[in-house]
Amino acid sequence: MDFIFIEDMRVEAHVGIYDRERAAPQTLDLSLTFGVPDEAAQDDDIAKTIDYAVVIARIRAELAARHFNLLETIGEFVIGLLLDEFRAPWVKVSIAKVGIARGVKRVGVQIERARNG
């Protein structure tokens, strides 16, 4: 299996349970790695792989339009998009809030899932 990775993608998202978090969107760092068909490289055909530009645009649009209480829920949502809509066989996502606590650079989650079957 071949993989595409997107590292340190910055997105604005409505996420959190505290009033200060609900007041405005927060900057999140997302990193993704997802499986793609081997045949894309063999045929040099974008139609046989997952277009990372489309993935980036879709994630940004979805996260801007919704509110999530937990980073874990965002992670599962992003993984669901890649597994179901983009048909990736395997996905790993890391999501972190930036500068959320004094003296802490990032706080986040990492989730990995594979498509069933």
The answer to pTM > 0.85 is yes
Question: Which residues have CB under 8 Å from 6's CB, separation 6+?
Answer: 30, 31, 32, 33, 52, 55, 56
Start-to-end CA span in the chain (Å):
15
Q: What is the CATH number of the domain that holds 61?
A: 3.30.1130.10
If one counts the domains in the chain, the total is 1
Q: pLDDT tens per residue, the chain (117 residues)? A: 899 999 999 999 999 888 887 888 889 999 999 999 888 778 888 888 999 999 999 999 999 999 999 999 999 999 999 999 999 999 999 999 988 788 888 899 999 999 875
